[in-house]
Homo-oligomer: A and B are copies of this chain.
């Protein structure tokens, strides 16, 4: 299954899509490339020089509204997040579109093999837009039969575009991983598994056949170096301390391998990141924290009804460990800093005629909206939404300044929705946090009720659970776009349609 022929490089044909009103397709019918498309026949033909895809992990409509109500007031708007897709917001008469999209995945384990899975994980979801193929939870750009599916960065590179991948998570986490690798398990971070190199967990975290020592294509981090995107910025630096077990770089750490292969690297160093500049043929790999990057706001874990009412309305405070705070050199690494750095690097490459790149494809992920929602942490998810919103605003401003805004398709969406709900009063049997908006003074009650197991060690034994373990939800969610091809997101689409929206705008399909 890991043969190179499965990944023939070059133009990819547009698979004929399903009719609009299809009903009752089985997982088998949906599992081939392009088979889950809803809009294959729509005649939007606008071409973009660049595409930037912003993903808020877990950013359903409820998560957007929680953050807007708190940060902007219920009548306010996000400068970035809400401006994408809004008629006339970025430019008069520019193409825009907003719509809803479905995120379900396909069963492959013993309990759900062959049937649709209504709730996706980040891996299957990301694989959907990265490759156009619906797959199973845990899959990283492989199909339900574990065959690698060509992803958008591979496709863009093969067609002469510069490419970038930015995230606030570990760079090996599912959402960025789908654009840099193909893995049957999302946990196969490195040649020694999901470790910092002091032990070898590969047997537990990776399918044996995928490992280099067994003739496979290797772990997610090793494939990242093979895929060689022009710009990679995120967290997860500690996993590059692992040592290759086989191949040309056997015995070397992944950081050593990256340097040997000509990458410009920065590890946990905001100043080095800030000073990076385009150098022909030397891709950037900047990993700025050991694991996921610290959040913008401090935690406010949800509490039981009596406890949350006793705590009263809270406001959010900035986390001193957030890399978006200016350091002593005046540098910072908010998602806006990372996004504009990526746009600068890719734009410089495209401007360098000798690089033979005609535009770029860039994914930028606000990863921890999801992670903080899992932790029932209202301020956490709000701060990460703010970080993403500001990254969008800064990117738009940068593109405008360099005259590229009208040629760039910008898409904003999420991979799945999440637990948080805005309610009027603290619920009786779900955890909640009461917020007071510093902008319009309103009281916002955020409820978290989807954790699947109780916790014998819970602080409050009368409640029996803690603020962890909240789950994804399966609702359709917002997709918004501005720029050439943006109208293609109008109506009801599927996340696999997003692959075609991007590929068509860039002339790749």
A426–B44 Cα distance when bound, in Å, is 42
Q: Are A20 and B89 in contact (CB under 8 A)?
A: yes
Q: Are A87 and B423 in contact (CB under 8 A)?
A: no
In the complex, which of the residues B75, B100, B473 contacts A421, with contact meaning CB atoms closer than 8 Å? Answer: B473
Within 8 A of B (CB), among A31-75: 36, 38-39, 41-42, 60-62, 64-65, 69, 72-75
Q: Are B440 and A25 in contact (CB under 8 A)?
A: yes
Of the 9-residue stretches A78-86, A150-158, A291-299, A348-356, which lies at the interface with chain B?
A78-86
Q: For residue A84, which residue of chain B has the nearest CB?
A: B491
Tell me if A88 counts as interface (CB < 8 A to partner B): yes
Q: Are B87 and A491 in contact (CB under 8 A)?
A: yes
Residues of B within 8 A of A62 (CB): 417, 473, 475
Tell me if A263 counts as interface (CB < 8 A to partner B): no
A449–B62 Cα distance when bound, in Å, is 15
Q: Are A491 and B96 in contact (CB under 8 A)?
A: yes
In the complex, which of the residues B61, B85, B116, B478 contacts A73, with contact meaning CB atoms closer than 8 Å? Answer: B116
Q: Mark A406-430, 1 if CB is under 8 A from B, else 0.
A: 0000000000010101111111111
Q: Are B41 and A88 in contact (CB under 8 A)?
A: yes
Known A98-B100, A490-B96; judge A451-B439 contact (CB<8 A): no
Tell me if A227 counts as interface (CB < 8 A to partner B): no
Expressed in whole angstroms, the minimum distance between the Cβ of A298 and any Cβ of chain B is: 22
Q: Are B42 and A75 in contact (CB under 8 A)?
A: no
Tell me if A442 counts as interface (CB < 8 A to partner B): yes
Q: Are B428 and A453 in contact (CB under 8 A)?
A: yes
Q: For residue A480, which residue of chain B has the nearest CB?
A: B491
Q: For residue A41, which residue of chain B has the nearest CB?
A: B88
Q: Are A423 and B471 in contact (CB under 8 A)?
A: yes
Known A61-B475, A474-B65; judge A119-B428 contact (CB<8 A): no
Q: Mark A314-329, 1 if CB is under 8 A from B, else 0.
A: 0000000000000000
Expressed in whole angstroms, the minimum distance between the Cβ of A463 and any Cβ of chain B is: 8
Residues of B within 8 A of A74 (CB): 102, 104, 116, 118, 474
Residues of B within 8 A of A87 (CB): 39, 42, 487, 490-491
Q: For residue A422, which residue of chain B has the nearest CB?
A: B474
Expressed in whole angstroms, the minimum distance between the Cβ of A389 and any Cβ of chain B is: 11
Q: Are B98 and A99 in contact (CB under 8 A)?
A: yes
A96–B44 Cα distance when bound, in Å, is 14
Q: Are B475 and A421 in contact (CB under 8 A)?
A: yes
Residues of B within 8 A of A421 (CB): 419, 421, 449-450, 473, 475
Q: Mark A80-115, 1 if CB is under 8 A from B, else 0.
A: 001101111100000011111010100100001001
Known A422-B118, A424-B119, A442-B116; judge A77-B452 contact (CB<8 A): no
Residues of B within 8 A of A18 (CB): 75
In the complex, which of the residues B115, B417, B423 contacts A441, with contact meaning CB atoms closer than 8 Å? Answer: B115
Q: Are B443 and A75 in contact (CB under 8 A)?
A: no
Tell me if A492 counts as interface (CB < 8 A to partner B): yes
Residues of B within 8 A of A116 (CB): 73-75, 437, 440-442
Known: A23-B439, A428-B452, A490-B490. 8 other contacts (CB 8 A): A20-B89, A21-B83, A65-B476, A74-B104, A96-B490, A118-B443, A427-B452, A476-B478
- A-B interface, 8 closest residue pairs, ranked by CB to CB distance from nearest: A449-B449, A422-B474, A74-B104, A86-B491, A24-B439, A62-B475, A430-B449, A23-B76
